[in-house]
């Protein structure tokens, strides 16, 4: 099944088509018709829903932007970088601020899986929802993780392609950056003036991607000395 999804992703033409492909696969794996994918805007500090299935305006408005300290399953994923399963939202006390909206949408259970690339970049969250109490199997969760990683890698390829063609390089990296830290502002400016170097070295692209996509609460772990190792000056 991963081979089939890999083939489908190679036929995608942009980030939106990658997200549609991933969500369709996730709903198939989950056996449900409710789901969404959020991408992280590190500059603004919140997740934004980019594609969804099955939800109405009230739900979409409530979860339009989810921040790190929110009580939802997707916010917990951001804090832990690990999948979260709430098999019954009614008895999950931490979820209570979201309960009325979710129950109004006919949802009783949810799983959220991080979109993490092979190189460790956290791009967003994939969530599927269920009308009754439910816990996905370990096999389903493993398949969800693998699919999310394939999609994250494809998204990064499209963003790297934008840099290759000199189109929107800054915008393409914006929701991977941990603003407003000054080191990241400097890194983004250097990205714009170092496109030739990025094209010549895939390793450099991966390193920069990691710098721009690290969790905002871990930015203290990163030292600007690492930039010298990849040829920036």
| Residues 107, 205 within the same domain | no
Of the candidates 93, 125, 155, which is a domain's last residue? 155
User: CB of 4 within 8 A of CB of 110?
Assistant: no
Range of the domain at 32: 2-155
Residue 91: which region, alpha, beta or left (left: phi > 0; alpha: psi -120 to 50)? alpha
Of the candidates 104, 128, 155, which is a domain's last residue? 155
| Residues 177, 216 within the same domain | yes
Say which CATH number the domain at 54 has.
3.30.450.40
Query: pLDDT confidence of 4, banded at 50, 70, 90?
Result: confident
- Which residues is 53 bridged to in the sheet? 35
| Residues 127, 200 within the same domain | no
Total domains in the fold of the chain: 2
> What tens digit of pLDDT does each residue of 18-77 get?
999 999 999 999 999 999 999 999 888 999 999 999 999 999 999 989 999 999 999 999
> What is the arithmetic mean of pLDDT over 138-152?
96
For position 176, what pLDDT does the model report? 40
Query: pLDDT confidence of 160, banded at 50, 70, 90?
Result: confident
| Residues 138, 189 within the same domain | no
State the Cα–Cα distance between residues 95 and 150, nearest whole angstrom.
29
| Residues 113, 201 within the same domain | no
For position 212, what pLDDT does the model report? 58
Least Cα distance to 109 among 77, 126, 87 occurs for: 87
| Residues 143, 185 within the same domain | no
User: CB of 163 within 8 A of CB of 169?
Assistant: yes
| Residues 139, 182 within the same domain | no
Of the candidates 155, 186, 221, which is a domain's last residue? 155
Query: pLDDT confidence of 89, banded at 50, 70, 90?
Result: very high
| Residues 44, 28 within the same domain | yes
What HEC string does the chain produce?
Answer: CHHHHHHHHHCCCCHHHHHHHHHHHHHHHHCCCEEEEEEEECCCCEEEEEEEECCCHHHHHHCCEEECCCCCHHHHHHHHCCCEEECCCCCCHHHHHHHHHHHHCCCCEEEEEEEECCCCCEEEEEEEEECCCCCCCHHHHHHHHHHHHHHHHHHHHHHHHHHHCCCCHHHHHHCCCCCCCHHHHHHHHHHHHCHHHHHHCHHHHHHHHHHHHCCHHHHHHCCCHHHHHCCCC
> What tens digit of pLDDT does each residue of 171-210 get?
444 444 343 344 444 554 555 444 444 444 454 455 555 5
């Amino acid at each position: 099944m991963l081979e089939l999804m890999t083939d489908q992703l190679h036929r995608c033409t942009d980030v939106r088509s990658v997200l549609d492909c991933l969500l369709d696969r996730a709903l198939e794996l989950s056996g449900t018709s409710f789901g969404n994918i959020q991408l992280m805007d590190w500059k603004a500090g919140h997740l934004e829903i980019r594609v969804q299935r099955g939800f109405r305006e009230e739900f979409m408005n409530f979860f339009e932007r989810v921040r790190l300290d929110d009580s939802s399953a997707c916010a917990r994923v951001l804090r832990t970088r690990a999948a979260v399963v709430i098999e019954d939202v009614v008895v999950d006390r931490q979820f209570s601020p979201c309960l009325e909206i979710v129950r109004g949408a006919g949802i009783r259970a949810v799983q959220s899986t991080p979109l993490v690339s092979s190189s460790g970049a956290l791009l967003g969250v994939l969530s599927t929802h269920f009308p009754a109490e439910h816990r996905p199997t370990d096999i389903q969760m493993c398949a969800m993780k693998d699919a999310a990683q394939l999609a994250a890698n494809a998204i990064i390829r499209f963003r790297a392609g934008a840099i290759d063609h000199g189109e929107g390089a800054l915008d393409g990296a914006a929701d991977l950056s941990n603003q407003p830290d000054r080191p990241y502002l400097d890194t983004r400016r250097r990205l714009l003036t170092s496109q030739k170097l990025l094209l010549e070295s895939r390793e450099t692209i991966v390193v920069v991607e990691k710098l721009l996509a690290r969790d905002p609460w871990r930015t203290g772990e990163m030292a600007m000395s690492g930039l010298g190792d990849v040829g920036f000056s």
